[in-house]
């Protein structure tokens, strides 16, 4: 199986966080705690929030400081952390506007977000984005919050009006083919749901056929770096 590129994106993102030399970081949607642990190992005071109670319990049992809360309502005082960061969470927030307003209230210096992105100038990425829309629509029909991929203008447009924070956006892409095993394993959880839905089934068949023509490659990443006016930027 091909090695997925998300780990490379996470590495670069975490390097960007540490390059700010923060004393304290709040990670939103910390799931398995890997990012929190990396920050703690680098000497940063790191706390997390998570909506899934099972993750909260497991992380607390491992001694990590994790709060049960949503990214849209952060239970912290203004300026409580140097940075508020999140990896692969922005497309799960019910309202990105609320999250950014809250994150920018709680962060003294910056709010950094990492999320999937597709380079639509490349056919194999166009197909990957179509596949992404396919499974997210099924998730939404099942009642989950799972938005289509977010572009720079969505993040910029979700910043509070009149904000004096700076906006920086970086796109990265390591073009890696989604191989047969990966394609099958990602589709598998959805097959029972679409079995009785001809339109969804037909779309998967069309994506499968198109994959044989153009190939289908794993997502790139968008890194959104928001900095408070007057805060020190990384060198």
Ligand X SMILES: C[S@@+](CC[C@H](N)C(=O)[O-])C[C@H]1O[C@@H](n2cnc3c(N)ncnc32)[C@H](O)[C@@H]1O
Residues that bind ligand X (CB under 6 A): 28-31, 49-52, 55, 70-72, 87-89, 92-93
Nearest CB to ligand X, comparing residues 95 and 180:
95
9 contacts: CB under 8 Å, gap ≥ 6: 114, 172, 174, 220, 221, 223
Shortest gap between Cβ of 190 and ligand X (angstroms)?
Answer: 16
Nearest CB to ligand X, comparing residues 49 and 176:
49
Per this entry, what is the length of the chain? 235
E-strand stretches of the chain: 24-28, 45-50, 66-68, 81-87, 107-117, 166-172, 220-227
Nearest CB to ligand X, comparing residues 39 and 49:
49
Separation between Cα atoms, residue 36 and residue 26, nearest integer Å: 9
Residue whose CB is nearest to ligand X in the complex, by number: 29
Nearest CB to ligand X, comparing residues 34 and 210:
34
CB-neighbour burial class of residue 192 (10 A; exposed 0-12, middle 13-18, buried 19+) = exposed
In 10 A of CB 31, how many CB atoms?
19
Shortest gap between Cβ of 116 and ligand X (angstroms)?
Answer: 9
Shortest gap between Cβ of 13 and ligand X (angstroms)?
Answer: 9
Shortest gap between Cβ of 73 and ligand X (angstroms)?
Answer: 9
């Amino acid at each position: 199986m091909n090695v997925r590129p998300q780990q490379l994106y996470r590495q670069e993102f975490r390097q960007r966080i540490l390059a700010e030399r923060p004393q304290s970081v709040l990670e939103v949607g910390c799931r398995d705690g890997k990012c929190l642990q990396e920050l703690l190992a680098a000497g940063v005071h790191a706390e997390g929030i998570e909506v899934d109670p099972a993750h909260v319990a497991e992380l607390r049992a491992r001694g990590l400081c994790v709060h049960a809360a949503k990214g849209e309502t952060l239970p912290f005082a203004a300026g409580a952390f140097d940075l508020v960061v999140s990896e692969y969470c922005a497309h799960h927030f019910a309202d990105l506007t609320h999250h950014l307003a809250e994150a920018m209230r709680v962060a003294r210096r910056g709010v950094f977000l990492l999320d999937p992105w597709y380079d639509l100038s490349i056919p194999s990425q166009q197909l990957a984005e179509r596949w992404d829309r396919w499974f997210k629509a099924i998730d939404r029909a099942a009642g989950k919050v799972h938005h289509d991929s977010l572009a720079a203008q969505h993040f910029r447009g979700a910043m509070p009006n009149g904000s004096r924070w700076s906006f920086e956006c970086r796109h990265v892409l390591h073009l890696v083919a989604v191989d047969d095993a990966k394609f099958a394993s990602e589709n598998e959880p959805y097959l029972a749901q679409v079995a009785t839905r001809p339109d969804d089934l037909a779309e998967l068949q069309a994506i499968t056929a198109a994959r044989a023509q153009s190939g289908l490659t794993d997502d790139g990443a968008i890194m959104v770096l928001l900095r408070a006016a007057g805060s020190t930027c990384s060198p």
